[in-house]
Structure 1
Amino acid sequence: MDAPSDSIPLLDLSAARGRDGAFDPAFIEALRDATHRVGFFQLTGYGADPAEVEQLFEVTRQFFDLPLESRLELDNRLSPHFRGYTRLGHEVTQGRPDAREQLDFGPERPAVEQYPPEQPYWLVQGPNLMPDRSLPGLRSVCMAWADRMSRVGAELLSAIAVSLDLPEDYFAEPFRGSPAWMAKLVHYVGGVVADAGPQGVGAHADYGFVTLLLQDQVGGLQVLPPGSTDWIPVEPIPGALVVNLGEMLEVATQGYLAATIHRVEAPPPGVDRYTIPFFWSPRLDAVIDPVPLPPALAARSRGITDDPNNPMLASYGANVLKGWLRAHPEVARIHHPELVRAAP
């Protein structure tokens, strides 16, 4: 039995490969330990310079400084695809409102007009709602960051495959063509959403493969590693990415890799916290089969987290749609009442 972790590992992506292009064994060993034992780590050396990071935070602050009426022009209740601006207290985690507002965006693609009734997850694809009139520089900055995070996510998945004694390109096929990544600009505000209490975001696991989070220096992110009863803070490191694994990798490895539960405490009243999470995720129609783990790793698999109220699904589209319907009940009721009625 692996001992629970009491700290968050730190890895350097610039040291991931040797001069010959192969992954460095020491990096792979550290990655294997972090992804199995903790499910979280921090990452430096991923290629972004401080100016690029500051520019992203600056446009994020500028967006949330816009008048509310400008932000509400992008109200996510206008989008059947769960894109756009979510007001303070209108995203729900564990049945409770979160003390944050956010702008959700993804690949800029047209809506899918017709799809089989058994594949409702295609409704997640569609155009973004961006502040092109009130803040015209935001779109290009955010999409450039998404391009960088897509490359980092793909490289980490290659390294994760090698850490499982699989070929580098083992996870590549589900991402070919039209990966359904998602990203957010997030602003946490404490002491404003009365029903949130201390909750910035309630305890949850992420839907997809790999999450890459850029956080400011305020802090508040906490992690509950497998087998632990103690929440561990993820202390901010300037410019570093906080990396965690999603439910698809836990399902694929029967729990050898951990989609670790995490939460965010709301900042004190009067303190702003900004984060930019990026979710590196496959095509909506991807179904992830079990990974052929070598016996030594399979013997350490913990099994899939058993939560009858939130089952993990092998279909990425079904898994992410389940999450969106729960997190944004107003959007679901307005645009997809038939899915709300069908939900367990």
Structure 2
Amino acid sequence: MQQPPGSIPTLDLSTARSVDGSFTPGFIEELRNAAHTVGFFHVVNYGAAPTQVDDLFDITRRFFDLPLQDRLALHNRLSPHFRGYAGLGTEITRGRPDSREQIDFSPERAPRTDHPADEPYWLLQGPNLWPRETLPQLEEQAMVWAELMSGVGAELLSAIGVALDLPEDYFTEPFEGTPAWMAKLVHYVGGVVEDAGSQGVGAHADYGFVTLLLQDQVGGLEVLPHGASDWVPVTPVPGALVVNLGEMLEVATEGYLAATIHRVTAPAPGVDRYAIPFFWSPRLDAVIEPVPLSEELRSAARGISDDPENPMLSSYGSNMLKGRARAHPDVTELHHPELVRR
């Protein structure tokens, strides 16, 4: 069923496949409409254990309740791989600080020290920073969640392939072996970062493939669908994932699927907001070629909404490194001054 303009639809992942294992036409139609018209949708019944969401939010709150010196022991300035804790106001979006603190993590892998000079994105690979002594449960629960989200992301990407009239394994190869997913545990705090104003995180598009966001009930996430002039709030649905598509899919489909602009408004002073985004992403060396769209879909493609100040790149690793370097200029200047734009 076609969604009303500006609405954020809800898809039930338990209805995605029929008994013979194929995707159901109804689910594929809902997914195609949501991904093309809004670029954002909720997903429910995705396989979380009964208390998994509540437990993950609880351990996330406990981390941000740790003494500041314990969090700073994991400071991302200690990581040349952009991992670990980022304090309030240290992540930059559109040139302004965000009213949030967070811990970033990705697959636990050894650093690449032998990468070619023209493949600097390999510097993103490396170990995570966790409070293994003060809060050891955080790593365990976060990585179990990442494993679940990897499965959900892969399933949705298979369904997106079918929605584009392609085989369901069309996007599989770039993810084989060492997918470079990224995730965050985020704490938004209003009224603390003076230069941020009402910005929880500034307007942006994600630079991967599929984003799976778990948000609490405070709210504040807003999206700007293609062609819209008004921001649309993404009202929290308890336990649901908020799904949006990244720049890699916009590049691959010439804009038929859009990397929809979104932002987060900071909560009121004294109110805490927690969110856990997961970015299902391919190998760092993956290069995304254009998708062979049918004439029907190509005629509905909007073209790439490229920003000269923030160009989209077909190399996933290059796109990710560009985004990380801009978001954390202090880490970039400390560890990778050669990446700083002159």
What TM-score range do you get, normalising by the shorter chain? Answer: over 0.9
**1:137 shift after superposition:** 0.8
- Alpha-carbon contact 1:216-1:273 (below 8 Å) kept: yes
Aligned partner of 2:165 in structure 1 is 165
- Distance in 1 of aligned mates of 2:284 and 2:148: 21
Counterpart of 2:46 in structure 1 is 46
2:3, 2:34 within 8 Å by CA — same for their partners in 1?
A: no
The residue aligned with 1:238 is: 238
Q: In structure 1, how many angstroms separate the alpha carbons of the residues matched to 2:51 and 2:125?
A: 32
Task: Report the Cα offset of residue 306 of structure 1.
Answer: 2.3
| SS of residue matched to 1:133 | coil
Structure 1 residue 114 displacement after superposition? 1.3
Q: How far apart are residue 4 of structure 1 and its match?
A: 8.3
State TM-score, norm by structure 1: 0.98
Q: Distance in 2 between matches of 1:200 and 1:31?
A: 29
Q: How does 1:31-42 map to 2 (within 5 A)?
A: 31-42=31-42
Offset of residue 5 of structure 1: 2.4
Residues 217-232 of structure 1 aligned to structure 2 (within 5 Å): 217-232=217-232
State the aligned residue count. Answer: 341
- What SS does the aligned partner of 2:273 have? strand
Change (3 A) 1:4 1:205: farther
DSSP 3-state at the match of 1:5: coil
Shift of 1:20: 1.0
State the shift of 1:49 in Å.
Answer: 3.3
Q: What is the Cα deviation at residue 144 of structure 1? A: 0.4
Q: Deviations for 1:130-157, whole angstroms, at most 9, x for unmatched residues?
A: 1101101111100000000000000000
Aligned AA for 1:329? P
Question: Are positions 1:285 and 2:285 aligned together?
Answer: yes
Paired residues of 1:60 and 1:185 also in contact (CA < 8 A): yes
Contact 1:4–1:37 (CA under 8 A) maintained in structure 2: no
List structure 1 segments (4+ residues) > 3 angstroms apart after TM superposition: none
Deviation at 1:119, TM superposition (A): 0.4
Q: How does 1:263-282 map to 2 (within 5 A)?
A: 263-282=263-282
C-alpha change, 1:334 and 1:3, in structure 2 (3 Å) is same
Where in structure 1 are there 5+ consecutive unaligned residues?
none
Q: Contact 2:42 / 2:241 at 8 angstroms: preserved in 1?
A: yes
Q: Which amino acid aligns with 1:250?
A: E
Shift of 1:339: 1.1
More off after superposition, 131-140 vs 3-12? 3-12
Aligned residue number for residue 311 of structure 1: 311
Match of 2:113 in 1: 113
Where does residue 26 of structure 1 map in the other structure?
26
For 2:151, the equivalent position in structure 1 comes to 151
Deviation digits for residues 317-337 of structure 1, max 9, x if unmatched?
000000001000000000000
Sort the Cα spacing of 1:333 and 1:44 in 2 relative to 1 into closer, same or farther, 3 A.
same
In 2, distance between residues paired with 1:128 and 1:246?
24
Which whole-Å CA distance do the structure 2 matches of 1:161 and 1:5 have between them?
Answer: 24
Alpha-carbon distance in 2 for matches of 1:107, 1:154: 16
Structure 1 equivalent of residue 125 of structure 2 = 125
Percent identical pairs in the alignment equals: 70
Paired residues of 1:11 and 1:41 also in contact (CA < 8 A): yes
In structure 2, distance between residues paired with 1:247 and 1:51: 33
Deviations, residues 15-47 of structure 1 (Å, cap 9, x unaligned):
000111110001000000000001100000101
Equivalence for 2:249: 249
Q: Cα deviations across residues 178-234 of structure 1 (Å, max 9, x unaligned)?
A: 000000000000000000000000000001000000000000000000111110000
Per-residue displacement from partner, 1:67-119 (whole Å, max 9, x unpaired)?
A: 00000000000100000000000000000000000000000001101111110
In structure 1, distance between residues paired with 2:236 and 2:148: 21
Q: Which residue is equivalent to 1:198? A: 198
Q: Hey, what's the Cα distance between the residues in 1 that align with 2:49 and 2:11?
A: 17
- Structure 1 contact 4–228 (Cα < 8 Å) conserved: no
* Structure 1 partner of 2:294: 294
d(CA) in 1 for partners of 2:94 and 2:138?
31
* Residue 3 of structure 1, CA deviation: 9.8
TM-score w.r.t. length of structure 2: 0.98
Question: In the alignment, residue 329 of structure 2 is paired with which amino acid?
Answer: P
Is the Cα contact below 8 Å between 1:12 and 1:44 reproduced in 2? yes
Partners of 1:5 and 1:200 in 2: how far apart?
A: 25
Cα distance in 2 for residues equivalent to 1:280 and 1:245: 10
Unpaired runs of 5+ residues, structure 2, are: none
